[in-house]
Each structure stands twice: as C-alpha cells, then as structure tokens.
DNA sequence: TCTGGGGTCCTAGGACCC
DNA sequence: TCTGGGGTCCTAGGACCC
C-alpha cells in the first residue's frame, strides 16, 4: 500500500506510552537518581520488571531473577527498589487525566499506555498536536511519553516503537508522515509486532516470514487457515485496515487475586488465611464494578524452579447456586475448596483465587428456593468498602484473613507513597 | 463385527499482552 | 535460599440433545 493511500485513511490512532514508566515515577521524587541506572523489582522482590535506559543498554533483560544478576547490578552501582504500585497508580491517573484533556476519545490500555482516537484532526496539524500532548504531559506530570500514530492499532504500536528506538525529538512518530512505510516495516522484526509472541514468531520465521513487511504481504486467508483469525487480523491491520476496534471499558469477566508468599508455607492455617485475604480483595474488585460472581476457583502451588523439589500445583472450583458478591460466602467457599486440594508436605510458594461467571447484579433474577444476597448483606459489604476507602486498606477486615500474616510478601526496598500518604509527602527545603 | 449426523454449550489449555 | 500478577481471546474436544 502506498503512503499516499495510507495518509488518506480516515482513522488516526495514537498510542501514548510512558517511557520507562516505573523508573520515571521513582526519579521524579529522587532527582539524584536521574543519572543512575535504576531497576524496579516485582512483587516479593523476585525479578526485575522495569528498567531505566541504562539497565536496558547494559543488557539486563526484562524479568531477570534478581538474585542472579545482583553482582552485576552492584558493579554498575545501580539503584534497585521494590515496586511501589501505590505511587505508580497515582502517577498513572495524573497522566491519563492530562491526556483526557486533549480528546474525549481515550481508552486507557494499561497502567502506562493509552489509545487516543485523533481521527478528527486533519493530517497537517496531527503531528504538531501530538507533540503538544507529549510536551504538556511532561510539564504537568513529570513523566516523559512517546506518541506513535497510524491508521490502525497495530501500526500505531509500530510507530510508537520506532519513536522510542530512534529517540525522536518531540517524541512523536507518525507513520503517515514517514519516509517510506515499506522501509519502516522492513526494520520491524516479526516478534516485535503487537500480538506476535515467542511461539508464533518462531513458527513464522521457520516459514520465511521475518519482518513486518513480510507478514503484511502474506495471504490473509491462507494465514488464517494456518494460524487463526487473530493472525489474519494482524495482517489486515498491517495493511491499514482496522480490525481491532476501540472497545469501551467493559466490566471484567474474571477477577484474580493471587500472590507469592514472602517465605514458603507448609501448614493449612496460613494458606486458609491467604486464600481468605485474596477472596476479600477479589470481592472488593467485584463490588466496585457492581458485579456478582457465580463461582470461585482456588489455586495453590509450590515453587516452579527447583528441580530437586516435587512440583505440586492444584486448583478447584466451587459454584454458587445464586451469584453473590458477599465476602463471607466467598471466604467460606474458598476455604472448603482449599481443604479439598490441600496436601500436607509440599512447601507452597503461592496461592490465589479467581472469581468466575461474573454478571451484572442488576441483571440477576430471583430464584424460587435460593436467596440472592440480602439487602442486609449488601449494606454490610458497602459499609466495609466505604470504611476501607476512607481509612485505608484493612481498616476493617475478616478475622479469617489473619492478623499478622507472616507469609505476606517481601518488599524490602520500597520507596515512600509520596503522592498518596500524608506521612510520605516529600519535604522541600 | 457392524452402530448417524449435526448443532450447541461448556471447559481446558494455549497464546498473547502489559 | 531467592524466579510477578492480572487479564483477554481463541480453539479443540467432550458432553449432550434431537
């Protein structure tokens, strides 16, 4: 497809992506870290989940286990911190809020990314407008962002990638004003296309498809037969034909709460506590989207990486006769399920629950013999949610969650919640 | 020994994303 | 010793029904 044709396509999608988001958040409140290599650890301080440019350039891979690269990081004099999701969540809200001032057509895609539909803006002013978006976001929030623009989401993603790779001044790259679309697509390897992961890229390469250009020029129908409808859509999007729509924010179809333990757990009692806590957290999320669930699944497992230790992983499910959002019913059911799958012996590393068969509670119908959540139960849950919102998480909680939670996750090097706790407000001298 | 055909619904598992 | 958490979508295959 020619560039000319591309630029005339009516839809213009921008993908705004925060640069090294977690690292950028940390640096705002620690200016002296601006020049130092900076890495952020996953929950439980297990592995590296975010890296500043210095770490990326040093070849530290995403997801690297911390204990394996610790010496290397020390040698680089890198700053390594636990992840501070309270801070990132709050900074994310500020960024999204700023972006929302530029267009109502915004879809928040992840904590550090948003799609903007800029179709209304004429081609000439588009680049300038996007540069203004990037500059304003930096000024208002301190977070640098990159903007990629294209006629489809897959192409906007590619544009965003090019923008970051080439470190484009102004932090905007519009495929519609690129030198040559073919040339750009030739530089994109197939595994770097949105929707093509490790498995698919391996298969594609084996059949001679190495770049985005190769994939675009493959036959969509035969590729659909060979792979799936997902592959066909990606090809069409590479050709500038929108196939992946702008979905409004839908209620979640499943809600998960799970976490690794700070240390291994053997006994049933602490497992019961953690499963009760996860039920509570999941139920809060469920109620916050005004839903009820029809089933709860509980899972437990040992560590996955020790070949000398038997791997045990088990999950099971309880269904409710009537959908519910009552934490007490969820905790109760989860406890029963856990007793079914618990074996004494294994050193458990992780436990969690998943809420399934989620529906909107206003769509619920009564049943002759089974009661839906009573008015009283609903009122109680609302009160619990309100108290916790007002006075902080776990202001009130269920005794079955345990008071001390010895198994809670490790976060040994967490920075303060600068923007959301009075005690942690930064002090200016 | 031989034992239909087609539709629908549900679930498990695979693959991907950030 | 130590290896994240939370989602979505698609497909294949089994159960069940007529």
CB-based contacts with strand B under 7 Å? Answer: A 109-113, 157, 193-201, 317
A363, pLDDT greater than 90: no
Q: Which residues contact A5 (CB under 8 A, 6 or more apart)?
A: A240
Condensed to tens digits (0 to 9), the pLDDT of residues A240-283 reads: 999 987 677 788 999 999 999 999 999 999 999 999 999 999 99
pLDDT at A7: 46
The pLDDT of residue A85 is 92
Which residue would you say has higher pLDDT here, A99 or A305?
A99
Domains, in order of start, for chain A? 16-176 (3.30.70.270), 179-249 (1.10.150.20), 255-401 (3.30.1490.100)
pLDDT at A101: 96
* A197 closest-nt by C1' vs CA: B16
The mean pLDDT of chain A is: 91
Percentage with pLDDT > 90 across chain A: 77
DSSP string, A262-273: EEEE-SHHHHHH
Q: How many CB atoms lie within 10 A of CB A315?
A: 14
Amino acid whose CA is nearest the C1' of C9 = A230
Q: Which of A135, A121, A116, A122 is nearest to A15 (CA)?
A: A116
**Strand C and A286 CB separated by under 7 Å:** no
Res. A364: pLDDT tops 70? no
* In chain A, % of residues over pLDDT 70: 95
Provide the whole-model pTM. Answer: 0.92
Number of other residues whose CB lies within 10 A of the CB of residue A380: 15
- Would the Cβ of A285 be found within 7 angstroms of any atom in strand C? yes
pLDDT digits (tens, 9 = 90+) for A68-106: 999 999 999 999 999 999 999 999 999 999 999 999 999
CB atoms within 10 A of CB A68: 10
The reported pLDDT for the residue numbered A126 is: 94
Q: What's the pLDDT score for residue A47?
A: 94
pLDDT at res. A370: 60
The full DSSP string for A139-203 is HHHS--EEEEEESSHHHHHHHHHHHHHTT-TTSEEEGGGSS-HHHHHHTSBGGGSTT--HHHHHH
User: Which residue has its C-alpha nearest to nucleotide B17's C1'?
Assistant: A195
Which pLDDT score, from 0 to 100, does residue A3 have? Answer: 43
Q: How far is the CA of A295 from the C1' of C18 (A)?
A: 30
Task: Write out which nucleotides of chain B lie closer than 7 A to a protein Cβ.
Answer: 12, 14-18
Would the pLDDT of A408 be above 90? no
Among all protein residues, pick the one whose CA is nearest to the C1' atom of C4.
Answer: A42
Gap between the Cα atoms of A269 and A415, Å rounded: 32
Dump pLDDT digits (tens) for A31-47: 999 999 999 999 889 99
CA distance A329 to A332: 5
Residues 50-89 on chain A lying near strand C, CB distance under 7 A: 63, 65, 67-68
């Amino acid at each position: 497809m020619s560039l000319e044709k591309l630029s005339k396509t009516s839809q213009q999608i921008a993908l705004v992506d925060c640069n090294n988001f977690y690292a950028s958040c940390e640096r705002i409140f620690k200016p002296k870290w601006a020049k130092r290599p900076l890495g952020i650890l996953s929950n439980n301080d297990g592995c590296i989940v975010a890296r500043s440019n210095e770490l990326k350039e040093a070849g530290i891979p995403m997801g690297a286990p911390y204990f394996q690269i610790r010496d290397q990081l020390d040698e680089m004099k890198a700053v390594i911190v636990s992840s501070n999701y309270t801070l990132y969540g709050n900074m994310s809200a500020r960024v999204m809020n700023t972006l929302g001032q530029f267009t109502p057509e915004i879809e928040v895609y992840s904590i550090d990314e948003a799609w903007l539909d800029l179709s209304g803006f004429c081609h000439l002013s588009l680049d300038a407008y996007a540069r203004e978006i990037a500059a304003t976001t930096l000024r208002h929030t301190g977070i640098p962002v990159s903007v990629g623009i294209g006629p489809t989401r897959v192409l906007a993603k590619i544009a965003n990638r090019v923008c970051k790779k080439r470190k484009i001044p102004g932090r905007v790259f519009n495929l519609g004003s690129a030198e040559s679309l073919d040339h750009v697509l030739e530089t994109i390897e197939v595994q770097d296309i949105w929707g093509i992961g490790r498995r698919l890229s391996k298969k594609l390469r084996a059949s001679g498809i190495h770049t985005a250009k190769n994939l675009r020029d493959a036959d969509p129908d035969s590729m659909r037969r060979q792979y799936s409808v997902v592959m066909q859509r990606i090809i069409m999007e590479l050709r500038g034909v929108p196939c992946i729509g702008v979905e409004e924010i839908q209620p979640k179809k499943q809600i998960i709460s799970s976490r690794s333990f700070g240390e291994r757990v053997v006994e049933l009692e602490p497992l019961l506590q953690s499963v009760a806590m996860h039920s509570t957290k999941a139920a809060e999320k469920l109620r916050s989207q005004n839903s009820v669930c029809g089933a709860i699944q509980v899972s437990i497992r040992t560590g996955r990486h020790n070949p000398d230790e038997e791997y045990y992983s088990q999950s099971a499910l309880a269904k409710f006769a009537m959908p519910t959002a009552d934490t007490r019913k969820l905790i109760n059911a989860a406890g029963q399920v856990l007793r079914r799958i618990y074996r004494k012996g294994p050193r458990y590393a992780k436990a969690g629950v998943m809420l399934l068969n989620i529906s909107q509670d206003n769509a619920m119908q009564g049943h002759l013999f089974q009661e839906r959540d009573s008015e009283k139960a609903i009122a109680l849950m609302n009160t619990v949610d309100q108290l916790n919102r007002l006075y902080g998480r776990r202001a009130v909680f269920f005794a079955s969650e345990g008071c001390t939670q010895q198994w809670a996750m490790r976060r040994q090097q967490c920075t303060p919640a600068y923007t959301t706790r009075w005690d942690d407000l930064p002090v200016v001298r």
